[in-house]
Amino acid sequence: MIVRILGEGQYAIADAERSALDDLDAALLAAVESGDEPAFARALAALTAEVRRAGTPVADDAFAPSDLVVPFSDATLEETRDLLAEPGVEPAKDER
């Protein structure tokens, strides 16, 4: 699968890593919902670190849409919440 960190680029990650990413994502979502800024910063740092660790940067001449997108690595809770409030395309099916 391909994961993009906003403002940074795409990483190719083995599907086997998905559950580890999902756990970190769940912690991030919980922090967004509870409005816990320090927890948000920690969760975001952990998620971006895991994407960079587990992933291989996608070459500049390989063009493919991302399966998952991580917020800007230095995003604030507020701007992430604002962004999440924007209309998005419903994934065709929440596969995986």
Partner 1 sequence: MGVMKRMSGILQAKTNKLLDKAEDPRESLDLSYQKQLESLQKVRRSVADVTTAKKRIELQATQLQGQADKLQTQAKAALTQGNEDLAREALARRAALADQLADLQTQHEQVSAQEQKLIDTAQKLQTQVDAFRTKKETMKASYTAAEAQTKIGEAVSGISESMSDAGMSMQRAQDKIDGMQARAGAMDELLASGALTDLTNPVDDIQAQLNKASTTSTVDAELAALKAEVGAGSPAPAELPQADAEESSS
Positions that interact with partner 1 (CB under 8 A): 3-4, 6-7, 9, 21-22, 25-26, 28-29, 32, 47, 60-72, 79-80, 83-84, 86-91, 94
User: Least distance (Å) from partner 1 to the CB of residue 62?
Assistant: 8
Residues 6, 88, 51, 47, Cα dihedral to 10°: 100
CB atoms within 10 A of CB 14: 10
**What is the closest distance, in whole angstroms, from the C-beta atom of residue 60 to partner 1 in the complex?**
5
CB of 51 to partner 1, least distance (A): 9
Start-to-end CA span in the chain (Å)? 10
